[in-house]
Amino acid sequence: MFGESSILSNLFSWKSKEQQKREEEEYARWAFPYGQEQRSRLVKLMLEIFPKETEPMVLIPFLTCKELYQNLCKKMGHEGAVRQLISEVKKYKRIIRKGEMPIYLALVVADSKVGEDLNYPPKEEILAMAKGFEVLHGQP
């Protein structure tokens, strides 16, 4: 999951291996608080929606969107976060394609509501939620 960028950042890092491991574990708990099963189910759902992509190619934009959404929610609540992510999608175009932002945002919102049962909505509901974000916030 951490790939080449982690190798490069570790090269210039003054952190101990234990500290690096602890930070990676903290990040994994933040990303998938219900563990590997949550990650597996979410990746499966994302690959249903984006069948031509690979696991890393769906995880990177998802985790980026999740972090942006959570930070914006703290400042402006759910509606404000959704509005800003949809309307200012160009800011994030290197990581998340414009047409995919509403879908990743819908996945993040669904993920934020999932409980220990890991009962994610089906692909169709995610796509409908994404379409709703587009309509509500002026995207085509």
For 40-69, b/e burial (b = at least 16 CB within 10 A) is ebbbebbeebeeeeeeeebbebbbbbbebb
Of residues 137 and 116, more confidently modeled: 116
Q: What pLDDT shows up at residue 16?
A: 83
What are the pLDDT digits (tens) for 58-102? 999 999 999 999 999 999 999 999 988 888 877 877 888 878 999
Q: What pLDDT shows up at residue 15?
A: 75
Could you give the CA distance from residue 61 to residue 79 in angstroms, rounded to a whole number?
Answer: 20
Q: What pLDDT shows up at residue 1?
A: 45
What percent of the chain has a predicted confidence (pLDDT) above 90?
Answer: 59
| Three-state secondary-structure class, residue 7 | helix
Identify the H or E element spanning 28: helix 17-31
Domain ranges of the chain: 35-136
